[in-house]
Amino acid sequence: MLYREAGQFKTTYNADQAIFPISQDRWFVTIVVLFAFLGMPLVAGQYLFTEVLIPVLILAIAAIGLNILTGYCGQLSLGTGGFMAVGAYAAYNLALRLPELNIIVVFLLAGVMAMLVGLLFGLPSLRIKGFYLAVATLASQFFLEWAFARVKWFTNYAPSGSVAAGKIDLFGFPIETPMQKYLFVLSLVVVFAMVAKNLVRSRIGRMWMATRDMDIAAEIIGIRPLTAKLSAFAISSFYIGVAGALWGFLRLGAWEPLAFDINRSFQVLFMIIIGGLGSILGSFLGAAFIVLTPIFLNQLPSILGIPLSTAAISHIEFMVFGALIVFFLIIEPHGLARLWAIGKEKLRLWPFPY
């Protein structure tokens, strides 16, 4: 009843190809974004901002990045953590050595830096495919992790090996409180998600998807594998690099290479698989799921009143998390985005049977 597109006639091609062709979708997204900008700052507390909203949004950018590479272009990558580290350390060094740069320029340049590194480590993808490539991308993960731990210039010769981001301000306005950070991240996320959504609908996105579905066939119909794969690596690494810079500056504040270890790579990979491969919406749903589940599992014993040691909780958390992943894959291998689509399909008829 509520979600019916009957009577919505499209009279132009533009209207037919809009991102949200159905007006209910348009309204829904507008309300969600407006609420995120205006409503959330009124209702959310400090804990919600720092522990839930900011991590979800930043990791959603990383998930979109990985989704471009893995979900749209079909190149499985386990090097996400390494590219996030490139973004974080590039931003740190840029902010340190060129303090007059605007913080947004710093973050974008950090993304560009990650993009260059991503291009370099994307080169083997032209020769290696499938799981061989996945393991090969681990080379970048371990190499980058090592480089940031050992090369002293990256950490500005800090004796402890950890670096701390300075205060950041935007056109003179300081970004200090959790709410300001949240709004800053949110604005970036909206822009990045819009760009990604349009990219995957464009020529380049179709190139990626053709390569994913069958690379030889794509090559035969005239898609250059070099352009398709490397552009996916470049844009994906750009997103991941920006996410890394944001993670370092706005979430952690001070960090060492361990913050971007292989578990981070797997975390982002879990997000896109649980959320849905090849779906921008799925990146958000996956990020929310992966961030919220451990928080929930952590609180559960105390809510239920079961006394457990911290070690036991963390082990059980591992167990439940692993079991949940398997469970989700079994009930819906195409992720939360697919469940969402099924739900919408059902809503078209509801409450009538047909």
Interface contacts to other proteins, rule CB under 8 A: 70, 76, 124, 127-132, 134-136, 138-139, 142-143, 145-146, 149-153, 161, 214, 216-217, 220, 262, 266, 269-270, 273, 277, 311-312, 314-326, 329-330, 333
Mapped onto helix, strand or coil, the DSSP state of residue 219 is helix
**C-beta closer to other proteins: residue 129 or 348:** 129
**C-beta closer to other proteins: residue 180 or 267:** 267
From 274, 118, 87, 283, select the one nearest 192 (Cα to Cα). Answer: 283
From 235, 157, 225, select the one nearest 192 (Cα to Cα). Answer: 235
For the CB of residue 187, give the shortest distance to other proteins in the complex, in Å: 32
**C-beta closer to other proteins: residue 194 or 329:** 329
d(CA 2, CA 275): 25
d(CA 46, CA 290): 20
To the nearest 10 degrees (0 to 180), the angle between helices 335-349 and 280-304 is 100
**C-beta closer to other proteins: residue 33 or 258:** 258
Phi, psi of 170 (to 5 degrees): -115, 110
- Which residue matches tokens 């500005």? 156
**C-beta closer to other proteins: residue 22 or 324:** 324
**C-beta closer to other proteins: residue 281 or 316:** 316
As given in the structure block, the two tokens for residue 238 are: 């750009």
Query: H-helix or E-strand containing 238?
Result: helix 225-246
For the CB of residue 300, give the shortest distance to other proteins in the complex, in Å: 14
Max CA pair span of the chain? 68
What size, in residues, is the chain?
354
**C-beta closer to other proteins: residue 32 or 323:** 323
For the CB of residue 340, give the shortest distance to other proteins in the complex, in Å: 18
**C-beta closer to other proteins: residue 42 or 331:** 331
User: In this structure, are residues 286 and 273 in contact, taking their beta carbons and an 8 Å threshold?
Assistant: yes
For the CB of residue 135, give the shortest distance to other proteins in the complex, in Å: 5
User: In this structure, are residues 250 and 103 in contact, taking their beta carbons and an 8 Å threshold?
Assistant: no
Phi, psi of 234 (to 5 degrees): -65, -50
d(CA 329, CA 151): 40
Mapped onto helix, strand or coil, the DSSP state of residue 170 is strand
From 170, 189, 174, select the one nearest 36 (Cα to Cα). Answer: 189
**C-beta closer to other proteins: residue 135 or 191:** 135
CA 222 to the chain's CA centroid:
31
Query: H-helix or E-strand containing 254?
Result: strand 254-255
